[in-house]
């Protein structure tokens, strides 16, 4: 069975490899600091104990006050997985260092996060809107981008007993 | 006359509507003479913002969306999604439900690889006959799906906590009849093509991906195994009781298009073995647990993955204790496997680029989501 690293274990390993790189650790994930992200990721990738040679998944999450970028990494030899997260709070111009120099295959998933969240990956070789076209208004997966006019939530009202999620304080993107 | 032929770079669009792109997908290649010097992918023609739509529907209402991501292997997509929700909510599935899931996922793998192998041979120029052979076998599997779930392609069969319906009585005899015929079909199909000199000339050494590149580029599934990396989530991180079945992981050793084809054929054989074992040991009891319709998983996130026919199919779901996912992300294997396309085609000819693209086995519904 695959072993899942807890946040504390991963934080200890990252702190050993690059001192001062860890922001905080939760039960399942380790939050790294943005300014030393690439260096820490490269160390986690090459170290014999962590050996995270395979970047499995990369995606963003919008929490209103911050964006989280979630990296799922795994080792094919030691058969373990870990969850690494990075936070960025600047909603106007979120910038995160690109890890495509560490795992070259990250470039497409970073393009996807840029396209749908508007997160800029610094140092990316070819950052462009991969699904939508250049000049598309807004960033669709942000929570302030409404998929239905007026913030309708089409699927939920059919079931009695399910109240709708509180509509967020938004302005509609023109 | 100096005798030197001069050429200059020329841009050529493959697609968006071209049979070899398997959907609406465009590759802008720059050719110098006959050699490709640069390739750029243009995608998004089928982008439906599935991840956004899923944030506004309940957990159960999202299952049909996953059918539409990879519409050629809807059962595997259903399975990955419900596993992620079950991991998040801590729901246990009864043994019969797990066995039925394994049967369906492996039938789906055979159906998908039939499609992949058939259209791949179409791309290499063996026009129509092999693809009709594979479609004939795939049709039998789709009939089984229709018998069980009522739908042929978008099955919508898995549910959170189990499967939607129990197997009908006619399922087992029909499935066993199918399993009896499959090995003969594989031998016939392989015998037709694997020794064929034209097929070998078109596929061997085309689109080579070395193992280091395969790992570095986050590849998974047959793409990774054809490069010689022994990695299968059914073995490494078993789900649905895969640890109880006896099967092997086929590996390639050169990482070219021909190896990817062979790996897919051999995987179909192994899937047929798994289905036979699952039918033999099909446990009784309920096929599903009772799960509230208005499911509200505890706050947190979960990433669950299955070995889909195209590779590691992962679902990342974030819950805020609401009735619908706060964030819903599909780790689409065909999308990520495309990241090496440029490395595969640069230096080759346009005709080889079509073979390389066919050997990746992409489905645009999953690439664009």
Would you say residue B361 lies in a domain?
yes
- Cα dihedral B205, B189, B337, B55 in deg (nearest 10): 170
Q: Mean pLDDT for chain B?
A: 88
Higher-confidence position of A155 and A133: A133
| pLDDT (0 to 100) of residue B79 | 92
| pLDDT (0 to 100) of residue B13 | 87
Q: B114: part of which helix (H) or strand (E)?
A: helix B95-124
CATH of the domain at B103: 1.10.645.10
Would you say residue B36 lies in a domain?
no
Q: Mean pLDDT for chain A?
A: 81
Mutation test of the interface with chain B: which of A3, A57, A74, A151, choosing the one with the most B Cβ atoms within 10 A?
A57
**Cβ-defined contact of A1 to B238 (cutoff 8 Å):** yes
pLDDT in tens, B299-319: 888 999 999 899 899 999 998
Distance (Å) from the alpha carbon of A16 to chain B's nearest alpha carbon: 24
Instruction: Give the span between the Cα atoms of B354 and B223, in whole angstroms.
Output: 16
**Cβ-defined contact of B305 to A155 (cutoff 8 Å):** no
* Mean predicted confidence (pLDDT) in B288-305: 85
* Mean predicted confidence (pLDDT) in A17-29: 85
* Mean predicted confidence (pLDDT) in A149-168: 54
Would you say residue B35 lies in a domain?
no
pLDDT in tens, B127-176: 788 888 888 889 999 999 999 988 888 888 998 888 888 888 889 899 99
Would you say residue B39 lies in a domain?
no
Number of compact structural domains in chain B: 1
Would you say residue B17 lies in a domain?
no
| pLDDT (0 to 100) of residue A174 | 46
Would you say residue B330 lies in a domain?
yes
Sort out which chain A residues have CB atoms less than 8 A from B45's CB and list them.
none
Mutation test of the interface with chain B: which of A106, A118, A150, A156, choosing the one with the most B Cβ atoms within 10 A?
A156
Q: Which domain holds residue B264?
A: 51-368
Q: Give me the total of CB pairs closer than 8 Å, taking one residue from chain A and one from chain B.
A: 111
Would you say residue B93 lies in a domain?
yes
Q: Write the CB contacts of B54 (distance below 8 Å, at least 6 apart in sequence).
A: B62, B65, B324, B325, B328
Which is it for strands A80-88 and A3-4: parallel, antiparallel or unpaired?
Answer: parallel
Q: Which domain holds residue A47?
A: 3-137
A48-57, A137-146, A156-165: range with lowest mean pLDDT = A156-165
pLDDT in tens, A64-122: 788 899 999 999 888 888 999 999 888 888 899 999 888 888 888 999 999 888 899 98
| pLDDT (0 to 100) of residue A147 | 57
Whether residue B69 contacts residue B332, with contact meaning beta carbons closer than 8 Å, is answered with yes
- pTM of the predicted model as reported, rounded to 2 decimal places: 0.88
CATH of the domain at A122: 3.30.460.80
How many other CB atoms are there within 10 angstroms of residue B145's CB atom? Answer: 21
pLDDT in tens, B345-368: 888 888 888 888 888 888 888 888
**Cβ-defined contact of A79 to B237 (cutoff 8 Å):** yes
* Mean predicted confidence (pLDDT) in A128-139: 84
Percent of chain B with pLDDT over 90: 20
Residue the block writes with tokens 């996807």: A112
pLDDT in tens, B191-241: 888 888 888 888 888 888 999 889 999 898 898 999 988 888 988 889 888
| pLDDT (0 to 100) of residue B111 | 92
Tell me the three state secondary structure of residue B160. coil
Would you say residue B222 lies in a domain?
yes
Q: B187: part of which helix (H) or strand (E)?
A: helix B171-193
Number of compact structural domains in chain A: 1
Structure ipTM: 0.84
């Amino acid at each position: 069975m695959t072993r899942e690293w807890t946040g504390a274990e991963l934080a200890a390993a990252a702190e050993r490899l690059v001192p001062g790189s860890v922001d905080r650790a939760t039960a399942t994930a380790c939050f790294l600091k943005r300014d030393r992200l690439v260096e820490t990721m490269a160390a986690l990738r090459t170290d014999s104990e962590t050996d995270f040679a395979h970047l499995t998944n990369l995606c963003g999450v919008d929490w209103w006050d911050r964006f989280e970028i979630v990296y799922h990494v795994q080792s094919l030899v030691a058969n373990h997985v870990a969850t690494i997260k990075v936070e960025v709070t600047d909603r106007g111009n979120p910038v995160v260092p690109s890890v495509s120099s560490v795992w070259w295959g990250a470039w497409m998933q970073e393009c996807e996060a840029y396209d749908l969240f508007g997160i800029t990956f610094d140092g990316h070789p070819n950052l462009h809107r991969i699904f939508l076209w250049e000049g598309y208004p807004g960033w669709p997966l942000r929570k302030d981008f409404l998929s239905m006019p007026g913030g309708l939530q089409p699927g939920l009202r059919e079931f009695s007993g399910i109240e709708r999620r509180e509509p967020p304080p938004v302005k509609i993107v023109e | 006359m100096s005798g030197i032929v001069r050429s200059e770079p020329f841009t050529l669009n493959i697609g968006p509507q071209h049979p070899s792109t398997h959907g609406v997908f465009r590759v802008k290649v720059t050719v110098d003479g006959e050699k490709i010097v640069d390739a750029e992918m243009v995608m998004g023609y089928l982008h439906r913002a599935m991840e956004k739509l899923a944030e506004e529907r309940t957990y159960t209402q999202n299952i049909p969306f996953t059918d539409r991501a990879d519409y050629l292997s809807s059962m595997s997509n259903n399975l990955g999604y419900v596993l992620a929700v079950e991991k998040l909510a801590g729901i246990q599935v009864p043994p019969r439900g797990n066995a039925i899931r394994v049967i369906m996922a492996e039938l789906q793998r055979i159906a998908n690889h039939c499609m992949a192998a058939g259209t791949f041979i179409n791309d290499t120029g063996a026009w129509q006959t092999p693809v009709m052979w594979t479609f004939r076998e795939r049709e039998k599997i789709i009939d089984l799906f229709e018998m069980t779930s009522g739908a042929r392609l978008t099955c919508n069969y898995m549910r959170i906590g189990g499967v939607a319906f129990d197997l009908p009585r006619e399922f087992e005899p029909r499935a066993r009849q199918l399993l009896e015929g499959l090995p003969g079909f594989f031998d016939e199909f392989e015998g037709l093509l694997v020794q064929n000199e034209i097929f070998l000339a078109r596929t061997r050494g085309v689109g080579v991906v070395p193992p280091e590149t395969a790992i570095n580029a986050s590849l998974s599934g047959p793409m990774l195994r054809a490069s010689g990396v022994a990695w299968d989530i059914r073995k490494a991180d078993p789900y649905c009781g895969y640890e109880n079945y006896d099967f092997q992981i086929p590996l390639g050793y050169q990482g070219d298009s021909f190896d990817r084809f062979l790996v897919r054929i051999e995987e179909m054989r192994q899937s047929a073995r798994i289905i036979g074992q699952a039918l033999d040991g099909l446990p009784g009891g309920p096929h599903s647990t009772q799960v509230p319709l208005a499911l509200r998983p505890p706050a947190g996130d979960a990433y669950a993955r299955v070995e889909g026919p195209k590779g590691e199919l992962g679902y990342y779901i974030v819950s805020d204790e609401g009735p619908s996912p706060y964030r819903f992300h599909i780790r689409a294997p065909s999308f990520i496997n495309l990241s090496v396309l440029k490395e595969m085609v640069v230096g080759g000819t346009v005709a080889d680029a079509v073979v390389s693209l066919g050997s990746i086995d992409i489905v645009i519904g999953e690439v664009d989501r």
